[in-house]
Amino acid sequence: MFSYPKWLILAIVVGLYLPVAIDATVLHIAVPTLSQELKASTSQLLWIIDIYPLLMAGLILVMGALGDKVGYRKLMLMGSIIFGIASVLAAFSPTANFLIFARAILALGASMIMPATLACLRHTFMDEKERNFALGLWVMAGGAGAAFGPLVGGLLLEYFYWGSVFLINVPIVILVSICILKYLPKQNFIHEKKLNILDALILIAAILLVIYSLKSGLKEFDPQFILLGFTGVVLGFLFVKRQIKSNQPLFDLKLFTSKPVKYGFTISVVAMIALVGFELLISQKLQYVYQFSPLEAGLYILPFMIAVSVGGVISTPLLNKFGTKKVAVVSLILSSVSMYFLSVVNFETEYLFASFYMILLGLSILCAFLAATSAILSGAPIEQASSAGAIEGMSYELGTGLGVTIFGLMASFFYTKNVDFYRFFSVDQLKTVESSIGQTYQALPSLSPESADIIMKSANSAFVMAHSSVLIFSSLILLFLAIFIWIFWRETSPKTLSI
d(CA 189, CA 72): 9
CB 100 within 8 A of CB 59: no
How many of the other CB atoms lie within 10 Å of CB of 158? 12
Residue 258 three-state SS:
coil
Mean pLDDT of 82-92: 91
Phi, psi at 319, each rounded to 5°: -65, -40
Looking at residue 495, its pLDDT comes to 43
Percentage of the chain modeled with pLDDT above 70? 85
Looking at residue 276, its pLDDT comes to 75
Note whether 1-195 and 255-499 share their fold.
yes
Does residue 333 carry a pLDDT above 90? yes
CB 153 within 8 A of CB 33: no
Fold held by 255-499 = Growth Hormone; Chain: A; (1.20.1250)
Looking at residue 25, its pLDDT comes to 73
Q: Residue 456: pLDDT band by 50, 70, 90 thresholds?
A: confident
Looking at residue 483, its pLDDT comes to 92
Q: 79-95 in b/e burial notation, b at 16+ Cβ within 10 A?
A: bbbbbbbbbebbbebee
Which range (146-150, 259-263, 427-431) has the least confidence? 427-431
Provide the residue type at 333 as one letter. Answer: I
Looking at residue 135, its pLDDT comes to 66
Calculate the alpha carbon distances from 28 to 37, 103, 252, 297 in Å: 15, 14, 34, 11
Burial class (CB in 10 A: 0-12, 13-18, 19+), 131: middle
Largest CA distance in the chain: 71
Looking at residue 85, its pLDDT comes to 93
Which range (39-43, 125-129, 255-259) has the least confidence? 125-129
Tell me the pLDDT of the chain averaged across its residues. Answer: 78
Does residue 493 carry a pLDDT above 60? no
Looking at residue 338, its pLDDT comes to 92
Q: Which residue has the higher pLDDT, 116 or 309?
A: 116
Helix (H) or strand (E) segment spanning residue 289? none
User: pLDDT tens digits, residue range 396-409?
Assistant: 777 877 777 777 77
Please state the domain extents for the chain: 1-195, 197-247, 255-499
Mean pLDDT of 18-23: 81
How many of the other CB atoms lie within 10 Å of CB of 203? 25
Provide the residue type at 140 as one letter. Answer: M
Q: Residue 341: pLDDT band by 50, 70, 90 thresholds?
A: very high
d(CA 22, CA 164): 13
d(CA 422, CA 430): 7
Closest CA to 29 of 219, 288, 312: 288
Looking at residue 386, its pLDDT comes to 55
User: pLDDT tens digits, residue range 132-153?
Assistant: 677 667 766 776 777 777 777 7
Mean pLDDT of 465-490: 87
pTM for the model: 0.74
Q: 460-489 in b/e burial notation, b at 16+ Cβ within 10 A?
A: bebbbebbbbbbebbbebbbebbeebeeeb
Looking at residue 11, its pLDDT comes to 83
Tell me the CB-side half-sphere exposure of residue 413, using CA atoms within 13 A: 16
User: pLDDT tens digits, residue range 215-239?
Assistant: 666 556 567 777 878 888 888 888 8
Tell me the CB-side half-sphere exposure of residue 464, using CA atoms within 13 A: 13
Provide the residue type at 224 as one letter. Answer: Q
Q: Residue 318: pLDDT band by 50, 70, 90 thresholds?
A: confident
Cα 315 versus chain centre, distance: 20
Closest CA to 26 of 294, 268, 264, 262: 294
- How do the residues of the chain divide into helix, strand and coil, expressed in percent and rounded to 5? 80, 0, 20
Which range (88-92, 172-176, 193-197, 281-285) has the least confidence? 193-197
Looking at residue 127, its pLDDT comes to 67
Does residue 416 carry a pLDDT above 70? yes
Q: Residue 88: pLDDT band by 50, 70, 90 thresholds?
A: very high
Does residue 167 carry a pLDDT above 80? yes
Q: Does CATH number 1.10.10.10 belong to domain 1-195?
A: no
Residue 25 three-state SS:
coil
Percentage of the chain modeled with pLDDT above 90? 7
Provide the residue type at 409 as one letter. Answer: L
CA angle at 78 for the pair 273 and 192, rounded to the nearest 5°: 95
Looking at residue 497, its pLDDT comes to 41
User: pLDDT tens digits, residue range 357-394?
Assistant: 999 988 888 788 778 877 776 776 655 555 666 677 77
Closest CA to 9 of 129, 145, 119: 119
Does residue 486 carry a pLDDT above 70? yes
